[in-house]
Amino acid sequence: MPQASLTPAPAAVPRHIAIIMDGNGRWARQRSRPRTFGHAEGVEALRRTVEAAGDLGVGYLTVFGFSTENWRRPIEEVNALFDLLRLYVARDLDRLAREGVRVRVIGDRENLQSDILEIISRAETRTRGNDKLNLTIAFNYGGQDEIARAARRAAEDVKAGKIAPAEINPESFGRYLDTAELPPPDILVRTSGELRLSNFMLWQAAYTELVFVDKLWPDFDKAALEEAIEMYRKRERRYGGTDSGS
Ligand code: FPP
């Protein structure tokens, strides 16, 4: 009998999928509609994807809703993105809570309006006891900003004598990140054909399989998620080792 490979095959269903939901603006432009219309349709795609992830048994879904760089967009578009977070929580929180979804929001909380902070806290508190699907929304999030904030907190702990500089290593540092409670993503999907990380999960994506799909985000659905999972399953993951596992 041929010897079985010692490398574990990628699990049939990845534990953690991260998504850069890109292409809302282009989707709207193709229809001669304002960009904000594309973002609103993007929320529908998010709803479909959360449901599909739950159905498929994905444990963690992390989506990029608003980046620290998105402040550079016209103020009307920035306001529309904040309104969509308000609307999403207002419309979906009851259902998410009922269906066993735990909601978390990662990103910089400084300078967010007080009603947004209140909405985030309400969603997180209400769903704290759930564990069927962990939905994390990155909002006012940037990977470099997250690492800098974590470094600042670690430095404060060193200054306060809580830890020694020598105790800082990748594992202990990870506990200072916004994602301290999450496993690293197995797959990072970016829609719309762009081939960049755009400052998303820079630390966490060290060994993540990157999956780029041409579909624009508002067209994303369960079949597209299944296709992305299939691409991941066909890849071998070696974590810097060899393919024989030795
Ligand atoms: C990128 O498309 C998408 C965004 C900057 C926002 C993503 C937000 C949503 C899908 C809405 C849901 C959000 C929450 C918080 C519930 P783009 O505008 O850069 O598209 P383009 O590259 O075609 O211009």
Ligand 1 proximity of 107 Cβ (cutoff 6 Å): no
For ligand 1, atom 8, name the residue with the nearest CA: 65
Task: Specify the CATH superfamily of domain 16-143+185-233.
Answer: Decaprenyl diphosphate synthase-like (3.40.1180.10)
Cα(67)–Cα(192) distance, rounded to whole angstroms? 17
Q: What is the block-wise mean pLDDT of the chain (246 residues), using blocks of 10 residues?
A: 49 93 98 97 98 97 97 96 96 98 98 96 98 98 98 98 98 98 98 98 97 98 97 80 60
Looking at residue 242, its pLDDT comes to 74
- What distance lies between CA 159 and its chain's CA centroid? 32
Q: Which residue bears the tokens 């990157």?
A: 210
Ligand 1 proximity of 198 Cβ (cutoff 6 Å): no
Looking at residue 218, its pLDDT comes to 98
For ligand 1, atom 12, name the residue with the nearest CA: 43
pTM of this prediction? 0.93
Q: CA angle, corner 184, sides to 95 and 153, nearest 5?
A: 95
Looking at residue 219, its pLDDT comes to 98
| Three-class SS state of 18 | strand
Looking at residue 12, its pLDDT comes to 82
Looking at residue 235, its pLDDT comes to 86
For residue 192, give the nearest of 162, 170, 224 by alpha carbon.
224
Q: CA angle, corner 87, sides to 81 and 90, nearest 5?
A: 145
162 CA from centroid of ligand 1 (Å)? 40
Question: Residue 171: in which H helix or E strand, if any?
Answer: helix 170-174
Cα(173)–Cα(180) distance, rounded to whole angstroms? 9
Looking at residue 3, its pLDDT comes to 42
* Domain boundaries defined on the chain: 16-143+185-233
* Mean pLDDT over the full length of the chain: 94
Cα(173)–Cα(106) distance, rounded to whole angstroms? 16
192 CA from centroid of ligand 1 (Å)? 11
Q: pLDDT digit string (tens) for 70-98?
A: 999 999 999 999 999 999 999 999 999 99
Name the residues annotated as catalytic.
22, 70
Ligand 1 proximity of 141 Cβ (cutoff 6 Å): no
39 CA from centroid of ligand 1 (Å)? 5
Q: Which residues pair with 189 in a beta bridge?
A: 19, 211
